[in-house]
Structure 1
Amino acid sequence: MSSEHSSQSPKPRVAVVFGGRSSEHAISVVTAGAVLRAIDRTRYDVLPIGITPDGRWALTADAPERMAIADRKLPSVEQLAESSEGAVLLPVDPASREVVYTEPGSVPKVLGEVDVVFPVLHGPYGEDGTIQGLLELSGVPYVGSGVLASAVGMDKEYMKRVFISYGLPVGPYEVIRPREWECDPAAARKKIVDFAGDHGWPVFVKPSRAGSSMGITKVDGLEGLDEAIEEARRHDPKILVESLLRGREIECGVLEFEDGPRASVPAEIPAVSAHDFYDFEAKYIDSAAGIVPAPLTEEETARVQDLAVRAFDAASCEGLVRADFFLLENGEFVINEINTMPGFTPISMYPRMWQESGVSYPELVDRLIQAALRRPTGLR
């Protein structure tokens, strides 16, 4: 790996940052492996940087083949780190983009400048505006949405509030804040029971700020409610309760082009007989396949594509978004959520939808990097 990037190579250097401190650590590693495999090495230099579950930034092997789910075992940054103690330091001065590597007892080593960061991080401390804020302070361009859009896209409560303010249709929901459950669990429990009384059982109890279907429980009544709340709170102290929406699960990708955001063909997530809903196991372990393109009418396809782009704009997103919908039995679409850094694994829906729309995986990665390089740093 050259430390003379600026003088020896005119190619932009892309730092692929992955792993992280969230419960989605392993999925981020899988995503990074796919991105590293797809980046055109004739056009870009690549610097893989993994963040361990305890927050250390580690220099890692550029080894996509070691970053996949194998025999139902999930990969981690620790398995890829070149040292158990070394740490990568980003620049803190916007006038410099030099990345430094340090190890105890050794002289810090300059790894060279980084032109753009591709943060394939999922969940808190990566997809929620935190790393975006760090990169803004460092003055380094990065792929994806900025601080505000990332934070809105991570917090399902405020995401829904933004959608409602822009006239986008959302389903019924209730929020239980940390203090409510900690100070008066009986009142919080009654709040959920009253919500179910208005909208019916079952309800879904989920972390407000998590992804990859982590911590979600389908609850059919009072029995199991407390356990579901505690399971959600393992991922986030604020929880969201949603009613069951009877209909089809439809997803649509949005990608930023030179002339603005465009929507992909939509996909459908069919009911998975071995799972109660489209949970983590169904998505990543059993690799439940979605249908691309979704069997929709032309009018339905146009409607969901329009809603996806409107959601992208409502939350001030940049780069990419996967928008998730329910097509209800009455023919209306309801937006469930957006994901500002959707899964990029080989089986993930976002790249599959764009592949069907005529944008290959390598081209998709290239477009995202180029959009980041075009975008000015600073307030957006």
Structure 2
Amino acid sequence: MKIGIIFGGPSREREISFAGGRTVYDNLDKSLFEAVPVFVDSLGNFILLDWHYIYKGTIRDFYPPVEVLPHSLHQLQIYLESLGELSTEEQEGIINKVGKRILPHQFKEYFDFAFLALHGPYGEDGSIQGLLEWYRMPYSGSGILPSAIGIDKILQKDYMNSHGFPVPRYRIVRAEEWADTSQRPIIFEQLTRDLGLPLVIKAPHQGSSIGVSIIKTTDFRAFEEALARSFFAKTIYKNSWQGFSPEAKLNFVKQLTDIREGIGLPVRTDNGVIIHHPEQLLEILEGVFEENAREEVTLTNVESEPYVLLESFIQGKEFSCIVIQDPNGNPLALPPTEIIKGGEVFDYRSKYLPGLSRKITPINLPNEQIQHIRQECSRLFSAVGFNVYARLDGFITAEGQVFLNDPNTTSGMLPSSFFFHQAAEIGLNPSQFLTYIIRTSLVERLKSGKDTVHLRKQLHALDASIQNKKTANQKKIRVGVIMGGYSSERHISVESGRNIYEKLASTVKYQPIPIFLTGSAEEHRLYVIPVNIMLKDNADDIKEKIAHAEEGHLQHPVLEQIRQEASPITEKYTGKMLREPQLVTYEQLKDLVDAVFIALHGRPGEDGALQTELEKYGIPYNGSGIDSSRITINKYETNEILRQHGIKVADHLMAYKQDWQTNKEAFFQNIESAFSYPFIAKPADDGCSSAVKKIKNQRELAAFSELIFRETEDLTQGPATVLALGFKEEFPQKEAFLVENLISKEDGSHFLEVTGGLLTRYLPNGQVEYEVFEASEALAEGEVLSLEEKFLAGEGQNITPARYAPEPKLRQKISDKVKADLKKVAEVLNIEGYARIDAFVRIKEKNEVETIIIEVNSLPGMTPATCIFHQTAINGYKPYDFIDRILTFGMERTQKKVRAA
């Protein structure tokens, strides 16, 4: 059955839709379905997308294609709408570079069913649903009417009121009212009197917490800014603008035009000029304020909200609950998840970056209150007429009153989303849950009475395929996916491990088994974990659940009841019940698995310790061997070896805690005599951007030293403030750290940071051959690449292949030289399996190329958004193909050792 995955779209949530579409594409059961990627651009064109582009980090990395972009002084990435008004022919030319335009009447030529991963306006409001119904194309999720209700937060309030659901007091402010600036203080006074404080302000047609603010005090200026944010408008004042440095002006425009945090593009000025490109906006603001023509300029997005919703604040626990339809068509509420936020709002970063918020399932409440939440969610699901599934968010007060808000007809579909997280609690992995959604959607479309003969035939064929899959005796290769660990990289390791598990779970070749590693360097503790624990929010939550089970706590009674209610579903799609975590030794692991995929980062995993244990029992594994891993884990030792082989690296030294404790002044002098500010300080054996800082003065050096050499786990507030650490930013404790000179452009004509992946295979003669991929150019918003830029979908800007030169032949010539340099690094360090090498590239006169190595990752991050998948796609590998090649190499290596012995 061909499944057209429709993703992207015009909304502000398009990046999450893009990442969710990729999740669906990768997780569809390959024995049942053929995935067909249908990307929707921001002008609403449907594009049969070349699959390579699905693995780009963000939409802007490939669309619009680099060849059609106007010259950008600051190399800014843009969306299609920033190209201005485009003719049909111009759009066609752009589309043909990434795929093929298809029109709705052609959908049936390419796929049998539309899986909707679109968010927000056009995707969740009934628009696409109506289009698909017209062309008799079955689709996932709710129909036209419930979608139209689900998108409009104000309509929802009226609807819920009329159906007896408690709702907070609310008011709306229309754009035309707000335009009268003299009335704004009066509006603020009325709203605070009628609704009280705190006051919640929302853009009524947006999701992912876009355009949401909370006002706690009678601060009129903060209220005015919050309303403008929800209207997607911004007033810029001449005094503020002229106080910015050129760099600050550029960053201001970048943030302002961001579709999630800012007002987006195109914008209209208060005198009617429409601006499409961020550099055009920068130029206009500069000109207006330089000429002293204006004291202020107001910009409004051309698709701003017509009104803004304001609600009284609900004090209570926040939760989210997925409701699905059971096989009888009745609503079944999955266990509601409590959201413990880091900030006031469960914002975009908190929703999609692991470790920034906590998700507790089921919500920590008495059983009867959990059941009350479930009953209310099921009641609203029925009242609105939702189909197949919905995500209902809300609050429960201390008195037990449930306030539901913002029902979503399309949930986020990232691996860590509630959608998969709660389905795992009844035992469905992502692949199985997607199959359930598709089948249930077909049943719902049949109820419409349209095209029933064709739909019934599709349903029967799918049921037959599901039954055949259950009864087929398939011999699969058992792969233990080891994730977690106890380092500062444990959360990203879980993301990598889950991604590997999910890629393998949808195949006919492999049976993945999730294994969580915890403990210490002295004692590794390995646990085989069920899918519901694997899909907990982060490594610490997984560890907590394992401890809970070891202490002998009984299963939560509400979970037991839900699993009982869902047993007809789990029986059909999995055929087995969830098990408790199981502690295993390495010796026992040998009988459980045929091979291991190590998804750990840093120590243990990349240091040879785990490899040593696996080799004792002849268990095949991915990545480099023991000796190579022991070298590459240590950045200082790695660079020393590379320098000895004539490979250019940063100048560096190790700074030791003992020296710092003995004489801080001498400690600082030793570093300052070797390096001038600014320089880079970082751990020698940690990755994922943990504690990598650009140190600009002795105050920052002192703060860095105090934090990394601290005795307690908690961070000291003063030094953390000096280094401007982000919320929940990991900062490991170490006995030493690495200091490196800041690599810069110097005498180069062009300078860029790159990260390049590679893969190995055995030649017939037994030699190892290296396949080095086109490197990605990494663009950092701040001083160094952040965790978000590396791993959060839609956040990092990685351009693949790297832009070494504008002329294609010269670009390729430089690229070949860089790849040769990376290959030499791999050969010197005896890298095996796969790796990622980070470097700076300096292009000098006569196109002389200098590659300066930063670090080597022998087990690179394998999260869905990591750029290694962009690189492998260019060489024709889908993520599963890449993972398969990695595992095959590891198994062949073990066989060679057995034969040699």
Which TM-score applies when normalising by structure 2? Answer: 0.37
1:244/1:52 Cα in 2 relative to 1: closer, same or farther (>3 Å)? same
Native 8 Å contact 1:50 1:77 kept in 2: no
Q: Does 1:322 align with 2:377?
A: no
Q: Distance in 1 between matches of 2:381 and 2:320?
A: 13
Q: What's the counterpart of residue 104 of structure 1?
A: none
Which secondary structure state, in structure 1, belongs to the residue aligned with residue 407 of structure 2? strand
Q: What's the counterpart of residue 262 of structure 1?
A: 332
- 1:226 aligned to which of 224, 227, 231: 224
Q: What's the counterpart of residue 424 of structure 2?
A: 355
Native 8 Å contact 1:202 1:243 kept in 2: yes
* Counterparts of residues 107-186 of structure 1 (less than 5 Å): 112-182=109-179, 184-186=180-182
- 2:410 aligned to which of 337, 341, 346: 341
Deviation of 1:253 after TM superposition, in Å, equals: 0.8
Q: What's the counterpart of residue 705 of structure 2?
A: none
Native 8 Å contact 1:266 1:294 kept in 2: yes
Point out the structure with the larger helix share.
2
Which secondary structure state, in structure 2, belongs to the residue aligned with residue 224 of structure 1? helix
- 1:284 aligned to which of 326, 329, 352: 352
- 1:376 aligned to which of 434, 439, 446: 446
Which secondary structure state, in structure 1, belongs to the residue aligned with residue 164 of structure 2? coil
Deviation of 1:193 after TM superposition, in Å, equals: 3.0
Where does structure 1 lack aligned partners over 5 or more consecutive residues?
Answer: 1-11, 92-97, 100-110
Q: Distance in 1 between matches of 2:351 and 2:306?
A: 24
Q: Does 1:62 align with 2:51?
A: yes
Deviation of 1:67 after TM superposition, in Å, equals: 5.4
* Counterparts of residues 202-213 of structure 1 (less than 5 Å): 202-213=198-209
Native 8 Å contact 1:25 1:76 kept in 2: no
Indicate the structure (1 or 2) with the bigger Cα radius of gyration. Answer: 2
Q: Does 1:194 align with 2:190?
A: yes
Q: Which amino acid aligns with 1:132?
A: Q
Deviation of 1:155 after TM superposition, in Å, equals: 0.3
Q: Distance in 1 between matches of 2:144 and 2:61?
A: 26
Which secondary structure state, in structure 2, belongs to the residue aligned with residue 268 of structure 1? strand
Where does structure 2 lack aligned partners over 5 or more consecutive residues?
Answer: 66-94, 233-303, 451-901
Q: Does 1:53 align with 2:42?
A: yes
Which secondary structure state, in structure 2, belongs to the residue aligned with residue 49 of structure 1? strand
- Spell out, residue by residue over 1:211-240, the C-alpha distance to the aligned partner (whole angstroms, 9 max, x if none): 000111222331222221121112523211
Native 8 Å contact 2:204 2:305 kept in 1: yes
Native 8 Å contact 1:213 1:280 kept in 2: yes
Q: Distance in 2 between matches of 1:59 and 1:295?
A: 45
Count of aligned pairs:
345
1:361/1:159 Cα in 2 relative to 1: closer, same or farther (>3 Å)? same
Q: Distance in 2 between matches of 1:148 and 1:161?
A: 15
1:39/1:165 Cα in 2 relative to 1: closer, same or farther (>3 Å)? same
Q: Distance in 1 between matches of 2:21 and 2:53?
A: 8
1:45/1:209 Cα in 2 relative to 1: closer, same or farther (>3 Å)? same
Which secondary structure state, in structure 2, belongs to the residue aligned with residue 112 of structure 1? helix
Q: What's the counterpart of residue 28 of structure 1?
A: 17
1:187/1:76 Cα in 2 relative to 1: closer, same or farther (>3 Å)? farther
Native 8 Å contact 1:36 1:64 kept in 2: no
Q: Does 1:89 align with 2:136?
A: no
Deviation of 1:292 after TM superposition, in Å, equals: 1.8
Higher relative contact order (CA 8 A, sep 6+): 1
Q: Distance in 2 between matches of 1:166 and 1:288?
A: 33
Q: Distance in 1 between matches of 2:100 and 2:316?
A: 50
Q: Which amino acid aligns with 1:46?
A: A
Which secondary structure state, in structure 1, belongs to the residue aligned with residue 51 of structure 2? coil
Q: Distance in 1 between matches of 2:19 and 2:394?
A: 25
Native 8 Å contact 1:205 1:216 kept in 2: yes
RMSD, aligned CA: 2.4
Native 8 Å contact 2:50 2:99 kept in 1: no
1:85/1:347 Cα in 2 relative to 1: closer, same or farther (>3 Å)? closer
Native 8 Å contact 1:251 1:322 kept in 2: yes
Q: Distance in 2 between matches of 1:85 and 1:74?
A: 14
1:140/1:194 Cα in 2 relative to 1: closer, same or farther (>3 Å)? same
Q: Which amino acid aligns with 1:137?
A: W
Q: Which amino acid aligns with 1:174?
A: R
- Spell out, residue by residue over 1:181-209, the C-alpha distance to the aligned partner (whole angstroms, 9 max, x if none): 34x45546534432322332221211110
Which secondary structure state, in structure 2, belongs to the residue aligned with residue 245 of structure 1? coil
Native 8 Å contact 1:155 1:208 kept in 2: yes
1:176/1:199 Cα in 2 relative to 1: closer, same or farther (>3 Å)? closer
352-361 or 155-164, larger mean C-alpha shift? 352-361
- Spell out, residue by residue over 1:244-268, the C-alpha distance to the aligned partner (whole angstroms, 9 max, x if none): 2111101111012221221101100
Which secondary structure state, in structure 2, belongs to the residue aligned with residue 17 of structure 1? strand
Q: What's the counterpart of residue 78 of structure 1?
A: 63
Native 8 Å contact 2:341 2:358 kept in 1: no
Q: Does 1:216 align with 2:212?
A: yes
Q: Distance in 1 between matches of 2:348 and 2:123?
A: 19
1:131/1:197 Cα in 2 relative to 1: closer, same or farther (>3 Å)? same
Deviation of 1:319 after TM superposition, in Å, equals: 1.3
Q: Which amino acid aligns with 1:36?
A: Y
Q: What's the counterpart of residue 667 of structure 2?
A: none
Q: Which amino acid aligns with 1:62?
A: W
Q: Distance in 2 between matches of 1:257 and 1:243?
A: 35
- Spell out, residue by residue over 1:136-166, the C-alpha distance to the aligned partner (whole angstroms, 9 max, x if none): 1111111011111111100000011111111
1:185/1:258 Cα in 2 relative to 1: closer, same or farther (>3 Å)? farther
1:264/1:370 Cα in 2 relative to 1: closer, same or farther (>3 Å)? same
Native 8 Å contact 2:151 2:408 kept in 1: yes
Deviation of 1:321 after TM superposition, in Å, equals: 0.6
367-376 or 26-35, larger mean C-alpha shift? 367-376
Native 8 Å contact 2:38 2:46 kept in 1: yes
Q: Distance in 1 between matches of 2:332 and 2:60?
A: 33
* Counterparts of residues 241-252 of structure 1 (less than 5 Å): 241-252=310-321
251-260 or 217-226, larger mean C-alpha shift? 217-226
Native 8 Å contact 1:51 1:77 kept in 2: no
1:82/1:28 Cα in 2 relative to 1: closer, same or farther (>3 Å)? farther
Q: Distance in 2 between matches of 1:337 and 1:352?
A: 19
Q: Distance in 1 between matches of 2:113 and 2:140?
A: 7
Which secondary structure state, in structure 1, belongs to the residue aligned with residue 446 of structure 2? coil
Q: Distance in 2 between matches of 1:120 and 1:141?
A: 14
Q: Distance in 1 between matches of 2:447 and 2:39?
A: 23
